[in-house]
Chains A and B, each alone.
Chain A
Amino acid sequence: MKILLLDGSPKAQHSASAHYLRAMEAFLGGQQTLLWRDARSFDGAAVARDLLDQDALVIAFPLYVDGIPSHLLVFLEAMEKSLKEHQAAARVYVLCNAGFFEARQTRLALEMMKIWCEKSGLAWGKAIGIGAGGMALAAPIGSGPFAKLGKELQTLAGLVLAGQSDHDCFVEPDFPRFLYKTIAHFSWRSQARKNGLSGKALHRRHSYVPPARHAPAQAPSNP
Protein backbone atom coordinates (compact mmCIF):
# COMPACT_ATOMS: atom_id res chain seq x y z
CA MET A 1 0.00 0.00 0.00
CA LYS A 2 1.25 3.49 -0.87
CA ILE A 3 0.72 6.27 1.64
CA LEU A 4 1.76 9.91 1.39
CA LEU A 5 2.51 11.59 4.73
CA LEU A 6 2.32 15.38 4.49
CA ASP A 7 3.76 17.57 7.23
CA GLY A 8 1.84 20.86 7.18
CA SER A 9 3.87 22.57 9.89
CA PRO A 10 6.01 25.62 9.08
CA LYS A 11 8.60 24.26 11.52
CA ALA A 12 11.39 21.99 10.31
CA GLN A 13 12.32 21.08 13.90
CA HIS A 14 10.37 20.50 17.12
CA SER A 15 7.18 20.13 15.12
CA ALA A 16 4.22 18.45 16.80
CA SER A 17 2.78 17.64 13.34
CA ALA A 18 5.92 15.70 12.32
CA HIS A 19 5.85 14.00 15.73
CA TYR A 20 2.29 12.73 15.11
CA LEU A 21 3.21 11.59 11.59
CA ARG A 22 6.20 9.64 12.93
CA ALA A 23 3.82 7.90 15.34
CA MET A 24 1.53 7.12 12.41
CA GLU A 25 4.52 5.73 10.50
CA ALA A 26 5.19 3.33 13.39
CA PHE A 27 1.52 2.26 13.60
CA LEU A 28 1.32 1.72 9.83
CA GLY A 29 4.13 -0.83 10.06
CA GLY A 30 7.12 -1.46 7.84
CA GLN A 31 5.27 -3.25 5.02
CA GLN A 32 3.93 -0.05 3.44
CA THR A 33 5.56 2.30 0.95
CA LEU A 34 5.59 5.67 2.66
CA LEU A 35 6.32 8.92 0.90
CA TRP A 36 7.18 11.89 3.14
CA ARG A 37 6.46 15.43 1.95
CA ASP A 38 6.14 18.79 3.68
CA ALA A 39 4.37 22.03 2.78
CA ARG A 40 7.49 24.13 3.55
CA SER A 41 9.83 22.93 0.84
CA PHE A 42 7.57 21.19 -1.69
CA ASP A 43 5.26 22.65 -4.28
CA GLY A 44 1.56 21.73 -3.98
CA ALA A 45 1.22 20.90 -7.68
CA ALA A 46 4.22 18.56 -7.55
CA VAL A 47 2.83 16.79 -4.47
CA ALA A 48 -0.54 16.47 -6.23
CA ARG A 49 1.28 14.60 -9.01
CA ASP A 50 2.96 12.42 -6.36
CA LEU A 51 -0.50 11.65 -4.99
CA LEU A 52 -1.79 10.16 -8.26
CA ASP A 53 -0.50 6.66 -7.52
CA GLN A 54 -1.02 6.78 -3.75
CA ASP A 55 -3.78 4.99 -1.82
CA ALA A 56 -3.93 7.41 1.11
CA LEU A 57 -2.89 10.88 2.15
CA VAL A 58 -2.27 11.66 5.82
CA ILE A 59 -1.92 15.39 6.56
CA ALA A 60 -0.86 16.81 9.91
CA PHE A 61 -0.83 20.53 10.64
CA PRO A 62 -1.09 23.02 13.51
CA LEU A 63 -4.15 25.19 14.10
CA TYR A 64 -3.37 28.85 13.32
CA VAL A 65 -5.91 31.53 14.28
CA ASP A 66 -8.81 29.04 14.22
CA GLY A 67 -7.88 27.83 10.76
CA ILE A 68 -5.32 26.44 8.33
CA PRO A 69 -1.86 28.15 8.34
CA SER A 70 -1.39 30.48 5.36
CA HIS A 71 1.54 28.60 3.83
CA LEU A 72 -0.53 25.41 3.85
CA LEU A 73 -3.46 27.21 2.20
CA VAL A 74 -1.16 28.21 -0.67
CA PHE A 75 -0.03 24.59 -0.92
CA LEU A 76 -3.57 23.16 -0.79
CA GLU A 77 -4.88 25.54 -3.45
CA ALA A 78 -2.04 24.49 -5.77
CA MET A 79 -2.84 20.84 -5.06
CA GLU A 80 -6.54 21.42 -5.72
CA LYS A 81 -5.83 23.08 -9.07
CA SER A 82 -3.64 20.18 -10.16
CA LEU A 83 -6.07 17.52 -8.86
CA LYS A 84 -8.90 19.02 -10.91
CA GLU A 85 -6.89 18.15 -14.02
CA HIS A 86 -5.60 14.77 -12.83
CA GLN A 87 -7.97 12.86 -10.58
CA ALA A 88 -6.41 11.02 -7.64
CA ALA A 89 -8.04 8.12 -5.79
CA ALA A 90 -6.31 8.61 -2.43
CA ARG A 91 -8.44 8.80 0.72
CA VAL A 92 -7.60 11.70 3.04
CA TYR A 93 -6.89 11.47 6.78
CA VAL A 94 -6.23 14.63 8.77
CA LEU A 95 -4.53 15.41 12.09
CA CYS A 96 -4.82 18.96 13.42
CA ASN A 97 -3.33 20.06 16.72
CA ALA A 98 -4.26 23.15 18.71
CA GLY A 99 -2.19 24.98 21.32
CA PHE A 100 -5.38 25.43 23.35
CA PHE A 101 -6.33 22.52 25.58
CA GLU A 102 -9.70 21.84 23.96
CA ALA A 103 -9.35 19.62 20.90
CA ARG A 104 -12.72 20.81 19.57
CA GLN A 105 -11.17 24.18 18.77
CA THR A 106 -9.75 22.47 15.66
CA ARG A 107 -13.24 21.79 14.28
CA LEU A 108 -13.38 24.70 11.83
CA ALA A 109 -9.97 23.87 10.33
CA LEU A 110 -11.10 20.27 9.90
CA GLU A 111 -14.32 21.39 8.20
CA MET A 112 -12.22 23.54 5.85
CA MET A 113 -10.12 20.48 5.01
CA LYS A 114 -13.36 18.63 4.15
CA ILE A 115 -14.29 21.42 1.73
CA TRP A 116 -10.79 21.14 0.21
CA CYS A 117 -11.31 17.39 -0.24
CA GLU A 118 -14.64 17.94 -1.99
CA LYS A 119 -13.17 20.55 -4.32
CA SER A 120 -10.16 18.34 -5.06
CA GLY A 121 -12.31 15.27 -5.74
CA LEU A 122 -10.75 13.30 -2.89
CA ALA A 123 -12.55 10.96 -0.50
CA TRP A 124 -12.67 11.91 3.19
CA GLY A 125 -11.31 9.28 5.55
CA LYS A 126 -11.27 10.65 9.07
CA ALA A 127 -9.85 13.51 11.09
CA ILE A 128 -8.49 13.70 14.60
CA GLY A 129 -8.47 17.06 16.35
CA ILE A 130 -5.79 17.12 19.05
CA GLY A 131 -5.75 19.51 22.01
CA ALA A 132 -2.89 20.79 24.17
CA GLY A 133 -0.38 20.66 21.30
CA GLY A 134 2.03 22.60 23.49
CA MET A 135 2.81 19.42 25.41
CA ALA A 136 2.99 17.17 22.34
CA LEU A 137 6.68 16.39 22.79
CA ALA A 138 6.47 16.01 26.59
CA ALA A 139 5.83 12.24 26.64
CA PRO A 140 5.83 9.34 24.16
CA ILE A 141 2.60 8.78 22.25
CA GLY A 142 0.79 5.75 23.58
CA SER A 143 1.79 6.16 27.19
CA GLY A 144 1.01 8.41 30.15
CA PRO A 145 -1.12 11.43 29.15
CA PHE A 146 -1.01 10.31 25.50
CA ALA A 147 -2.37 6.78 25.97
CA LYS A 148 -5.72 7.75 24.42
CA LEU A 149 -4.05 9.59 21.54
CA GLY A 150 -1.95 6.48 20.88
CA LYS A 151 -5.11 4.35 20.66
CA GLU A 152 -6.78 6.82 18.30
CA LEU A 153 -3.72 6.99 16.02
CA GLN A 154 -3.52 3.20 15.98
CA THR A 155 -7.21 3.03 15.00
CA LEU A 156 -6.55 5.64 12.32
CA ALA A 157 -3.64 3.58 10.95
CA GLY A 158 -6.00 0.57 10.75
CA LEU A 159 -8.52 2.63 8.77
CA VAL A 160 -5.79 3.89 6.42
CA LEU A 161 -4.63 0.33 5.74
CA ALA A 162 -8.20 -0.87 5.18
CA GLY A 163 -9.02 2.15 2.97
CA GLN A 164 -12.01 2.96 5.17
CA SER A 165 -13.65 6.09 6.58
CA ASP A 166 -14.98 6.81 10.04
CA HIS A 167 -16.38 9.71 12.02
CA ASP A 168 -13.96 12.39 13.20
CA CYS A 169 -12.83 12.49 16.80
CA PHE A 170 -11.23 14.92 19.23
CA VAL A 171 -8.53 13.93 21.71
CA GLU A 172 -7.04 15.72 24.68
CA PRO A 173 -4.23 14.43 26.88
CA ASP A 174 -5.13 12.77 30.15
CA PHE A 175 -3.78 15.76 32.06
CA PRO A 176 -5.48 18.46 34.18
CA ARG A 177 -6.35 21.55 32.14
CA PHE A 178 -5.46 23.99 34.95
CA LEU A 179 -2.01 22.41 35.18
CA TYR A 180 -1.48 22.72 31.42
CA LYS A 181 -2.31 26.43 31.75
CA THR A 182 -0.01 26.90 34.75
CA ILE A 183 2.92 25.12 33.07
CA ALA A 184 2.37 27.06 29.84
CA HIS A 185 2.52 30.39 31.73
CA PHE A 186 5.67 29.31 33.52
CA SER A 187 7.21 28.22 30.22
CA TRP A 188 6.45 31.55 28.46
CA ARG A 189 8.09 33.51 31.29
CA SER A 190 11.06 31.16 31.37
CA GLN A 191 11.60 31.41 27.59
CA ALA A 192 11.33 35.21 27.79
CA ARG A 193 13.97 35.30 30.55
CA LYS A 194 16.30 33.25 28.32
CA ASN A 195 15.84 35.99 25.72
CA GLY A 196 16.84 38.62 28.28
CA LEU A 197 13.28 39.86 28.89
CA SER A 198 11.60 40.45 32.22
CA GLY A 199 8.12 39.08 32.86
CA LYS A 200 6.83 42.65 32.62
CA ALA A 201 8.30 43.04 29.13
CA LEU A 202 5.97 40.33 27.87
CA HIS A 203 3.09 42.80 28.40
CA ARG A 204 4.70 45.49 26.22
CA ARG A 205 2.36 47.67 24.15
CA HIS A 206 3.25 49.68 21.06
CA SER A 207 1.70 52.77 19.59
CA TYR A 208 1.04 52.93 15.88
CA VAL A 209 1.24 55.95 13.63
CA PRO A 210 -0.82 55.36 10.48
CA PRO A 211 1.08 56.10 7.25
CA ALA A 212 -0.18 58.80 4.89
CA ARG A 213 -3.16 57.46 2.92
CA HIS A 214 -1.28 56.91 -0.31
CA ALA A 215 1.90 55.47 1.16
CA PRO A 216 2.02 51.68 1.57
CA ALA A 217 3.03 50.14 4.90
CA GLN A 218 6.80 49.92 5.20
CA ALA A 219 9.14 47.50 6.87
CA PRO A 220 11.11 49.09 9.72
CA SER A 221 14.38 50.73 8.71
CA ASN A 222 15.91 50.36 12.16
CA PRO A 223 13.64 48.25 14.33
Chain B
Amino acid sequence: MKVRLLIHDLDEKDERQLKYAVPESVILFSAKPRVKPCVGCFGCWIKTPGRCVIKDRCWDSPAMMAAGRELILVSRNVYGGFSPEVKAVLDRSIGYMMPFFRYVGSEMHHTARYDNPLTLTAHFYGEGISEGERGIARRLVKANAVNLGAEGCQVCFHDSLPHLKEALL
Protein backbone atom coordinates (compact mmCIF):
# COMPACT_ATOMS: atom_id res chain seq x y z
CA MET B 1 0.00 0.00 0.00
CA LYS B 2 1.36 3.38 -0.94
CA VAL B 3 1.43 5.70 2.01
CA ARG B 4 1.78 9.42 2.48
CA LEU B 5 4.77 10.93 4.22
CA LEU B 6 4.35 14.02 6.39
CA ILE B 7 7.53 15.80 7.50
CA HIS B 8 6.88 18.54 10.04
CA ASP B 9 8.57 20.83 12.53
CA LEU B 10 5.74 20.92 15.07
CA ASP B 11 6.30 20.62 18.81
CA GLU B 12 5.69 17.34 20.61
CA LYS B 13 2.23 18.34 21.86
CA ASP B 14 1.04 19.30 18.37
CA GLU B 15 2.57 16.18 16.88
CA ARG B 16 0.66 14.04 19.39
CA GLN B 17 -2.60 15.59 18.14
CA LEU B 18 -1.57 14.84 14.56
CA LYS B 19 -0.74 11.22 15.42
CA TYR B 20 -4.26 10.56 16.62
CA ALA B 21 -5.99 12.57 13.90
CA VAL B 22 -4.40 11.45 10.63
CA PRO B 23 -4.96 7.98 9.13
CA GLU B 24 -2.50 5.12 9.73
CA SER B 25 -1.42 5.37 6.10
CA VAL B 26 0.32 8.67 6.86
CA ILE B 27 3.93 8.28 8.04
CA LEU B 28 4.82 11.11 10.39
CA PHE B 29 8.42 12.26 10.54
CA SER B 30 9.27 14.93 13.05
CA ALA B 31 12.10 17.22 11.97
CA LYS B 32 12.44 18.20 15.64
CA PRO B 33 14.88 17.97 17.28
CA ARG B 34 16.83 19.12 14.25
CA VAL B 35 18.80 16.35 12.57
CA LYS B 36 22.46 16.88 11.76
CA PRO B 37 22.93 19.05 8.65
CA CYS B 38 24.12 17.74 5.29
CA VAL B 39 27.89 18.12 5.09
CA GLY B 40 28.01 18.16 1.29
CA CYS B 41 30.07 14.95 1.02
CA PHE B 42 27.82 13.34 -1.68
CA GLY B 43 28.28 10.03 0.16
CA CYS B 44 24.56 9.33 -0.45
CA TRP B 45 25.47 9.14 -4.15
CA ILE B 46 28.94 7.62 -4.24
CA LYS B 47 29.51 5.72 -0.96
CA THR B 48 26.15 4.40 0.25
CA PRO B 49 23.94 5.12 -2.79
CA GLY B 50 20.41 6.08 -1.76
CA ARG B 51 21.24 6.46 1.94
CA CYS B 52 22.87 9.23 3.95
CA VAL B 53 26.25 8.37 5.46
CA ILE B 54 25.32 10.09 8.75
CA LYS B 55 23.81 7.31 10.82
CA ASP B 56 20.99 8.97 12.65
CA ARG B 57 17.19 8.76 12.34
CA CYS B 58 17.35 10.61 9.00
CA TRP B 59 19.75 8.20 7.28
CA ASP B 60 17.01 6.37 5.32
CA SER B 61 14.86 9.39 4.43
CA PRO B 62 15.27 8.90 0.64
CA ALA B 63 13.71 5.42 0.85
CA MET B 64 11.07 6.82 3.18
CA MET B 65 10.16 9.38 0.52
CA ALA B 66 10.07 6.67 -2.13
CA ALA B 67 7.52 4.72 -0.06
CA GLY B 68 4.97 7.49 -0.36
CA ARG B 69 2.67 8.64 -3.10
CA GLU B 70 2.48 12.07 -1.48
CA LEU B 71 5.10 14.10 0.35
CA ILE B 72 3.57 16.62 2.73
CA LEU B 73 5.85 19.25 4.24
CA VAL B 74 4.65 21.25 7.22
CA SER B 75 7.03 24.06 8.03
CA ARG B 76 7.39 27.40 9.70
CA ASN B 77 8.02 30.00 7.00
CA VAL B 78 11.62 31.24 7.09
CA TYR B 79 12.50 33.90 4.48
CA GLY B 80 9.98 32.38 2.05
CA GLY B 81 11.41 28.89 2.48
CA PHE B 82 11.43 26.01 4.92
CA SER B 83 12.52 26.13 8.56
CA PRO B 84 16.05 24.89 9.36
CA GLU B 85 14.47 21.73 10.82
CA VAL B 86 12.51 20.72 7.69
CA LYS B 87 15.30 21.95 5.40
CA ALA B 88 17.83 19.76 7.23
CA VAL B 89 15.70 16.69 6.36
CA LEU B 90 15.34 17.80 2.73
CA ASP B 91 19.08 18.49 2.42
CA ARG B 92 19.78 15.01 3.82
CA SER B 93 17.35 13.40 1.34
CA ILE B 94 19.06 14.13 -1.97
CA GLY B 95 19.83 10.41 -2.25
CA TYR B 96 16.19 10.16 -3.41
CA MET B 97 17.65 11.33 -6.71
CA MET B 98 20.66 10.08 -8.64
CA PRO B 99 23.83 12.16 -9.08
CA PHE B 100 23.37 12.13 -12.86
CA PHE B 101 21.88 15.03 -14.75
CA ARG B 102 18.91 15.32 -17.09
CA TYR B 103 17.24 18.31 -18.69
CA VAL B 104 13.80 19.51 -17.79
CA GLY B 105 12.95 22.25 -20.28
CA SER B 106 16.03 24.44 -20.37
CA GLU B 107 17.25 23.48 -16.90
CA MET B 108 19.56 20.77 -15.62
CA HIS B 109 18.17 18.53 -12.87
CA HIS B 110 18.98 15.17 -11.32
CA THR B 111 17.67 11.88 -12.67
CA ALA B 112 15.24 9.84 -10.59
CA ARG B 113 16.35 6.86 -8.47
CA TYR B 114 12.79 5.62 -7.96
CA ASP B 115 9.81 5.30 -10.30
CA ASN B 116 7.58 7.04 -7.85
CA PRO B 117 4.67 9.19 -9.03
CA LEU B 118 4.97 11.54 -6.08
CA THR B 119 2.92 14.67 -5.44
CA LEU B 120 4.25 17.42 -3.20
CA THR B 121 2.19 19.51 -0.80
CA ALA B 122 3.70 22.21 1.39
CA HIS B 123 2.01 23.93 4.32
CA PHE B 124 3.83 27.05 5.48
CA TYR B 125 2.76 28.60 8.75
CA GLY B 126 3.70 31.75 10.62
CA GLU B 127 2.46 35.21 11.47
CA GLY B 128 2.57 37.87 8.80
CA ILE B 129 3.97 35.89 5.87
CA SER B 130 4.53 38.67 3.35
CA GLU B 131 3.47 38.59 -0.30
CA GLY B 132 7.15 38.45 -1.23
CA GLU B 133 7.70 35.39 0.93
CA ARG B 134 4.56 33.72 -0.44
CA GLY B 135 5.79 34.28 -3.97
CA ILE B 136 9.18 32.75 -3.17
CA ALA B 137 7.56 29.80 -1.38
CA ARG B 138 5.25 29.04 -4.33
CA ARG B 139 8.15 29.03 -6.78
CA LEU B 140 10.36 27.11 -4.36
CA VAL B 141 7.89 24.25 -3.99
CA LYS B 142 7.41 24.17 -7.76
CA ALA B 143 11.20 23.98 -8.20
CA ASN B 144 11.42 21.25 -5.53
CA ALA B 145 8.70 19.30 -7.36
CA VAL B 146 10.67 19.47 -10.61
CA ASN B 147 13.83 18.33 -8.82
CA LEU B 148 12.01 15.43 -7.17
CA GLY B 149 10.36 14.46 -10.44
CA ALA B 150 6.98 14.99 -8.75
CA GLU B 151 3.78 14.90 -10.78
CA GLY B 152 2.29 17.94 -9.12
CA CYS B 153 2.53 20.31 -6.21
CA GLN B 154 0.40 22.45 -3.97
CA VAL B 155 1.25 25.23 -1.51
CA CYS B 156 -0.86 26.45 1.42
CA PHE B 157 -0.24 29.27 3.89
CA HIS B 158 -1.53 29.48 7.45
CA ASP B 159 -1.12 32.61 9.55
CA SER B 160 -1.20 30.75 12.84
CA LEU B 161 -0.67 27.30 14.30
CA PRO B 162 -4.40 26.86 15.12
CA HIS B 163 -5.25 27.59 11.47
CA LEU B 164 -2.63 25.08 10.32
CA LYS B 165 -4.04 22.42 12.66
CA GLU B 166 -7.54 23.16 11.40
CA ALA B 167 -6.35 22.48 7.86
CA LEU B 168 -4.42 19.32 8.75
CA LEU B 169 -6.72 17.62 11.25
The answer to whether A and B interact is: yes
Which A residues have a C-beta under 8 Å from some C-beta of B?
A: 9-11, 62, 64-71, 73-74, 76-77, 100-102, 105, 108, 111-113, 115-116, 119, 177, 181, 184-185, 188, 191-192, 195, 197, 201-208, 210-211, 213-214, 216-220, 223
Size bracket, chain B contacts? 35 or more
Docked pose: A77 CA to B81 CA in angstroms: 13
20 contacts between A and B (CB under 8 A): A64-B40, A73-B81, A102-B108, A108-B80, A112-B81, A115-B130, A119-B79, A181-B101, A188-B46, A203-B49, A204-B49, A205-B50, A205-B63, A206-B50, A210-B3, A210-B64, A211-B27, A213-B24, A213-B28, A219-B59
Given contacts A69-B87, A177-B108, 10 further A-B contacts (CB under 8 A): A10-B39, A65-B147, A68-B81, A112-B80, A195-B46, A206-B66, A214-B19, A217-B29, A219-B55, A220-B55
Docked pose: A138 CA to B19 CA in angstroms: 50
B78 near A73: Cβ-Cβ < 8 Å: yes
Chain B min CB distance to A63 (Å): 11
A185 near B101: Cβ-Cβ < 8 Å: yes
A70 near B88: Cβ-Cβ < 8 Å: yes
Docked pose: A175 CA to B150 CA in angstroms: 30
Docked pose: A220 CA to B57 CA in angstroms: 7
B90 near A65: Cβ-Cβ < 8 Å: yes
A112 near B143: Cβ-Cβ < 8 Å: no
Chain B min CB distance to A128 (Å): 19
Chain A min CB distance to B77 (Å): 10
Interface residues of B in 64-86 (CB under 8 A from A): 64, 66-67, 78-85
Residues of chain A within 8 A (CB-CB) of B57 are 216-219
Chain B min CB distance to A191 (Å): 5
Chain A min CB distance to B99 (Å): 4
**Known contacts being A188-B45, A208-B64, is A66 close to B109, with CB within 8 Å?**
no
The answer to whether the Cβ of B164 comes within 8 Å of any Cβ in the partner chain is no
Name which residue of chain A comes closest to B57, CB basis: A217
**Known contacts being A65-B144, A217-B57, A219-B55, is A77 close to B78, with CB within 8 Å?**
yes
A206 near B78: Cβ-Cβ < 8 Å: no
B59 near A202: Cβ-Cβ < 8 Å: no
The answer to whether the Cβ of B162 comes within 8 Å of any Cβ in the partner chain is no
Docked pose: A185 CA to B45 CA in angstroms: 12
Name which residue of chain A comes closest to B114, CB basis: A205
Which of B49, B87, B107 has a CB less than 8 Å from the CB of A100? B107
Q: Which of the listed residues A112, A188, A217, A220 has the most CB atoms from chain B within 10 Å of its own CB?
A: A217
Q: Which of the listed residues B63, B66, B81, B85 has the most CB atoms from chain A within 10 Å of its own CB?
A: B81
Residues of chain B within 8 A (CB-CB) of A100 are 101, 107-109
Residues of chain A within 8 A (CB-CB) of B50 are 204-206
Which of B47, B63, B64, B80 has a CB less than 8 Å from the CB of A115? B80
Residues of chain B within 8 A (CB-CB) of A219 are 55-57, 59
Residues of chain B within 8 A (CB-CB) of A102 are 106-108
Residues of chain A within 8 A (CB-CB) of B79 are 68, 73, 76, 112-113, 115-116, 119
Chain A min CB distance to B13 (Å): 15
Docked pose: A67 CA to B122 CA in angstroms: 15
Docked pose: A200 CA to B28 CA in angstroms: 32
Which of A65, A177, A206, A214 has a CB less than 8 Å from the CB of B51? A206
Residues of chain B within 8 A (CB-CB) of A201 are 49
A216 near B30: Cβ-Cβ < 8 Å: yes
A206 near B63: Cβ-Cβ < 8 Å: yes
Residues of chain B within 8 A (CB-CB) of A111 are 80, 132, 136
B51 near A210: Cβ-Cβ < 8 Å: no
